[in-house]
Structure 1
Amino acid sequence: MISAQDWEDTRCVWAYHQMGHTPRPCSVAIALGSHDLGVADAAVDLYAQGLVPLLVFTGATSPTTRERMPRGEAVHYRERALELGVPASAVLIESRARNTGENIRFSRELLEGAHVDVSSVFLVSKPYEERRVYATARKVWPEVEFVSASSSMTLEQYVDSVGDARLVIDMLVGALQRLLVYPEQGFMISQDVPSNVITAYERLCLSGFTSRLLLDDHGHVLSQTRR
């Protein structure tokens, strides 16, 4: 049972995860692989608007995508883009990355190898991953400017698209935990997390939305609470 308080807290965390950046022309869009083909669609939309001349799709496979995307996330994203009318010449793929840091690092290497001049990047991800991807990219590739983007949808629409409300909340909670603990591990820049977001996160953890939380070697939830 998901209570009214749970939904209120989820909306608070959902809103924080989204950066609210204003779209503007960038050198390239990097779309991070996942189970969600909507990420590829969002990248294609940027290309169709003339905001980027080139798309990079990055991602290998994971336990959650292996069956749905057996050829690899980046490959399936590319196939989707071509189906939607993007010319093959405007698409590069990076098919090794297995985490967010590798998505950015390997995409950077790919672009450098292709002699693409990059001063700004659209980061395209799932709606609840915008802030995590941005914070990671700023750490891994500090020389360029980043604009975050995702499919334009409400929390309710995203839940409907996934078909599992509890799983969505678990993913939102897990993504926020990483924003709290990864900076001290050197994986991303630190960002201010408002106290109301921390409170919402803690209540959701107490309500049992914990399947996507990171654990330490002793099986305890990794935590770094900042107020």
Structure 2
Amino acid sequence: MISMQAWSDAQQLWDFQQMRHEPRPCSVAIGLGSHDLGVADVAVDLYRRGLIPLIVFTGATSRTTRDRMPRGEGEHYRGRALDLGVPASAILVEPNARNTGENINFSRALLAERGVDVSSVLLVSKPYEERRAYATARKLWPKVEFVSASASMTLTEYVDSIKDPRLVLDMLVGAQQRLLVYPERGFMIRQEIPDPVAVAYERLYAAGFTSRLVPVP
């Protein structure tokens, strides 16, 4: 049973992760691989709206996706987009990335290899990882403008779609922890953390929502 306090704290983290960028025309969309096919759906919507001419789906597999997406996250995203009517010529797949930094670096290399001129990117992620993805992309590809995008959902709607409340709270805490520790490792730009968000994170950590944390020396 998840307490009302934990839900309130999770809402703090959820709201903080939202960058609230307004989608606009960009050179390309990059859909970051995960368990969530909603990332592919958002990328398809951006394509249909004429905001991007090309989508890169990036991702291998992880412990969460190896059974559900055995061909790799990027390939499963591609299949979803094809089913929704996006032409194959408008999709590139980067099949090797296993973390957000590799998503960015490997997608950048693939686009350069294909001769795609990139000045701006619609960066499509899960709703609770917008800020983490943005901070990583800004660090690794600083000359490109990034516009964050994700499915427009409430925390409750997202939990209902995943059907595993504890996992969602664990992932929220993991995403927040990375904002704290990864800048020191050179993985992302530093973000200012408001006090209420920091307190919410500490309470959830203390309550044991820790399965998605990275080791800290």
Q: Give the TM-score normalised by the residue count of structure 2.
A: 0.98
Provide the C-alpha distance between the structure 1 equivalents of 2:9 and 2:63, rounded to a whole number of angstroms: 28
Paired AA for residue 201 in structure 2: Y
1:8-61 CA-partner distances (Å, limit 9, x unpaired): 111011000111001111000000111111100010000001110100000011
SS at match of 1:34: coil
Q: CA deviation at 1:216?
A: 3.4
Residue segments in structure 1 that go unaligned for 5+ positions in a row: 218-227
Q: Which residue in 1 is equivalent to 2:168?
A: 168
Q: Which residue in 2 is equivalent to 1:214?
A: 214
Paired AA for residue 85 in structure 1: G
Query: Percent identity, aligned pairs only?
Result: 72
Query: Higher mean Cα deviation, 205-214 or 39-48?
Result: 205-214
Pairing of 1:142-153 with structure 2 (within 5 A): 142-153=142-153
Provide the C-alpha distance between the structure 2 equivalents of 1:216 and 1:141, rounded to a whole number of angstroms: 25
Provide the C-alpha distance between the structure 2 equivalents of 1:16 and 1:216, rounded to a whole number of angstroms: 23
Paired AA for residue 213 in structure 1: L
1:36 aligns with 2:36: yes
SS at match of 2:123: strand
Q: Which residue in 2 is equivalent to 1:186?
A: 186
Provide the C-alpha distance between the structure 2 equivalents of 1:213 and 1:70, rounded to a whole number of angstroms: 24
SS at match of 2:146: strand
Q: CA deviation at 1:215?
A: 2.1
Provide the C-alpha distance between the structure 2 equivalents of 1:85 and 1:78, rounded to a whole number of angstroms: 11
Paired AA for residue 99 in structure 2: N
1:73 aligns with 2:73: yes
Paired AA for residue 164 in structure 1: D
1:79-99 CA-partner distances (Å, limit 9, x unpaired): 110100000110001001111
Provide the C-alpha distance between the structure 2 equivalents of 1:58 and 1:211, rounded to a whole number of angstroms: 24
Q: Which residue in 2 is equivalent to 1:16?
A: 16
Q: CA deviation at 1:212?
A: 1.2
Provide the C-alpha distance between the structure 1 equivalents of 2:172 and 2:185, rounded to a whole number of angstroms: 20
**Structure 1 stretches of at least 4 aligned residues deviating more than 3 Å after TM superposition:** none
Provide the C-alpha distance between the structure 2 equivalents of 1:202 and 1:68, rounded to a whole number of angstroms: 32
SS at match of 2:31: strand
1:84-138 CA-partner distances (Å, limit 9, x unpaired): 0000110001001111000000000000111111100000010011001000000
Paired AA for residue 126 in structure 2: K
Residue segments in structure 2 that go unaligned for 5+ positions in a row: none
Provide the C-alpha distance between the structure 2 equivalents of 1:89 and 1:167, rounded to a whole number of angstroms: 36
